Amino acid sequence: MKVEIQPDVRDIAAQLGAGVPYALKVLAGQLADDPDMGRPSGLPGILTVTVDGDVFEDCPDLSVGYIREPDRIEIRFLRAAPSTEPSTDAQDQDQEQGRDQDQSADPAAAAVTVREVADAWRRITGWLKHNAPDSYAALRAGVGPAAIAAVEGDLGIRIPVELHVLWLLTAGDDGGDGWGCLPGNKALMTLDAVAAVYRVRMDSQAHEDALNADRPEDERITVWKATWIPVVALGPADSTSGLYLDAESGYLGRWSRYNEGPDEVLDTLVTYLEEAADMLEAPALATRDKPGLIGGALVWLSSIDPAQEDRWQPWTG
C-alpha cells in the first residue's frame, strides 16, 4: 500500500517537534501494513489515528487524519493531541458515530467534498506560504473532532462536511498585518467567534419573532435562521458583517449586524475557496477581486485602505 504525506503536513510536523517527522515516517510504515488501523473521524473516507508521543523523543501526542483509497493512503491532517482531549471516551465516540450515520446517506459525494475542500485550501495556503508569509503565519492550526463536536452542541446543529473538514485544516485567521486572506480581505472566523456571532444573531431573530407576531405574514422579518452558520467575517477584528453557510442548502449568504436583509451568495464553500485559489494562481483571469501584496501580507484590491494604496503591489503571477 502506497502512503503519501502532503507537503503542508510535513511542514507542520517540523514545527511540532524534532521527533515528529520521524514519528510520522514510522506511522506511514504502519499504515502501509495496516491501512485500516485508524478509526472513523466523522467524515466519510477519512480515518484518524493517534500517536503516543512518549515513544519518540521530542514528540507530543499526535492526531493524524488520512484518506483511505483502494490502492493508496494520503495523510492529510496532523496536529498535537492534548492529553485532555476527550476524543477517546465513549461519549465522544458516540457523537462521532452519530455524525457518521448522519453523513452516510451519500458517502461518495461527501468524500468528494472532503477532497475538494482540502485541495482548495492547500492551494491557498501553498500560495500564502511562498508569497505572503505574514498571512500564512496568521492562520490558526486546525482543531480536532472533539472541538467541532463542542461547536455542534453549542449551536444545536450538525456542522456540514465541507466546514468540518476546513476546521480540521485551520480554525481561523488572525490576519496578516490586519488583513484576512480571503477575497475582500475577509477572514475565516475562529470557532469562538462563530459561536458568539451565532448567539447574537439568534437573539436578534428572537426579537424579530416577538414583533412578527403582530405583523401581517407578508411583512414578517427574518434576519437569521437556525441553519445559518457564520464562517467568514469582514476582517480579523471586525465581525460586523460577513458570510454564513446555510447548513440546509449548502450555499453561502451575506449577513450584517445591522439587520440588513440577508443576501444569498451563489457559491458553496467549495466553489468560494476554489475561486479564491484560482484568483491567486491566475490573477490575470480574476474578475471578482485582484490579489496583491503589502510587505509580506496578502491584500485584496477591493477592500484596501486608501492610505495604503501607494504601498500595494499587484500580484501578476
The mean per-residue pLDDT over the stretch 27-31 comes to 93
Angle CA 227–189–225, to nearest 5: 15
Does the pLDDT of residue 63 top 70, yes or no? Answer: yes
pLDDT attached to residue 56: 93
Higher-confidence residue: 51 or 82? 51
Please, is 151 exposed, middle or buried when counting C-beta atoms within 10 Å of its C-beta (0-12, 13-18, 19+)?
buried
Tell me the pTM: 0.78
For residue 211, count CB atoms less than 10 angstroms from its CB and return exposed for 0-12, middle for 13-18, buried for 19 or more: exposed
The answer to whether residues 261 and 220 touch, using CB atoms and an 8 Å cutoff, is: no
> What pLDDT was estimated at residue 106?
64
Cα gap 63→270, rounded to integer Å: 25
- pLDDT tens digit string along 215-256? 999 999 888 999 999 999 999 999 899 999 999 999 999 998
pLDDT, mean of residues 202-212? 93
Cβ distance 169 to 8 under 8 Å?
no
Across 112-138, average pLDDT? 93
